[in-house]
Amino acid sequence: MSETSIATPSSIAWLGFALGALFGAVGNRTNFCTLGAVADIVAMGDWNRMRMWLLAIAVAILGSQALQYTGIVDLSKSIYTASRLKWLSSIAGGMAFGIGMALASGCGSKTLIRIGGGNLKSLVVFAFMAISAYMTLRGLFALWRVELLDARAIALPTQQDLPSLLTITGALARPQAILLCSLVAGGILAGFALAPRDFRRFDNLLGGIVVGLVVAGGWYVTGHLGYIAEHPETLQEAFVGTNSGRAESLTFVAPFAYTLELLMFWSDASKSVSFGIAAALGVVAGSSAWAIASGSFRLESFRDPADMLRHIAGGILMGFGGVTALGCTIGQGISGMSTLALGSMLTLAAIIAGCFIALKLELWLAMGHGKFVLK
């Protein structure tokens, strides 16, 4: 890691915007969608989009852990690797997010991609998700989160990432533990994703590899370029241009809340466009650029009031669940997983479980009351 950063908050934000734009364009082209990954399995038994997601996780693990192994980035400086494992927040928040994304026709990243493609329904989801996320960070929902969920936690003897836990035995030094864990986890996921011949098509590979590399790139931007060992004003370690004050990569829940906060307190000089906000805006811009270039851009709205209420409920659940669980399908499912943190693994499993249950219930209800249509 660099001792001092030559980057400014604005340059970190612009790099975040560029990474987000790449994510948005590729996500739109390849139809990268975590809800779609689960829905394809539930409805058709098709694993291709799930394999694309798993390939992205594998690439993110290998790329991010390579940065850590070489000393370029220290992932222990992220929010995901704390020694306090908030297991109930991970489960409850993950389940709420998974159910919410089934109701809202997509997760946080898909909401941004759809906005870029002209989907007005996703604009409403974004607004309610941002409000709910802000309420969970600092408002009414925060009281419930802190008192009922965050209080239930396990204090681990070290940080919760697998390399740190593996070093407790004393059998391996940390660099060797990082290398072993990343190669095993990344190799297994990549091997599973790439095994079927029919998966190895250009768009599937493009989506998985690029999304994984973008997440690793996020760690490089905030954890290396934006790192200051001793801030000239506080004389403490600092990370330039992030809302958390730590190293960050792509995540699409809390940045929604911070975007809303920035718009509400624009005249406050202490508020600025951060890496997370810029990355979210970049996803919309990249998706819009691809939609226009490919001729797929079109305005789409709600078909009836029930459809609107469903999407609003989904946005509220995703805002609450994403903040409670410290991330979404991208924030915990890929960025968090790239740190090999136990909480990220638990959250990812809870998100998939919540989404699976919601889709199965919807399918069961539709079989008795009409045709089932996946959004």
* Helix (H) / strand (E) containing 154: strand 154-155
Per-residue pLDDT reduced to its tens digit, 232-288: 666 678 899 999 999 999 999 999 999 999 999 999 888 999 999 999 999 999 999
Per-residue pLDDT reduced to its tens digit, 312-358: 999 999 999 999 999 999 999 999 999 999 999 999 999 999 999 99
* Paired residues of 228 in beta bridges: 238
Q: Residue 25: its pLDDT value, please?
A: 98
Output the CA angle 92-138-268, nearest 5 degrees. 145
Residue 177 structure tokens? 């533990």
Residue 230 structure tokens? 């001793």
Residue with tokens 């792509």: 250
Q: Residue-wise over 138-164: b if at least 16 C-beta within 10 A, else e?
A: eeebbeebeeebbeebeeeeebbbbbb
Q: Residue 375: its pLDDT value, please?
A: 43
Which whole-number Å values give the CA distances from 40 to 49, 75, 374, in the listed order?
Answer: 8, 33, 9
Low-confidence ranges of the chain (pLDDT < 70): 1-6, 230-235, 369-375
Burial environment of residue 173 by CB neighbours within 10 A (0 to 12, 13 to 18, 19 or more):
exposed
Residue with tokens 């190895």: 200
Q: What is the pTM of this model?
A: 0.94
Which whole-number Å values give the CA distances from 37 to 45, 52, 120, 159, in the listed order?
Answer: 10, 8, 23, 31
Residue of 222, 245, 255, 238 whose CA lies nearest to 323: 255
Q: Residue 4: its pLDDT value, please?
A: 55
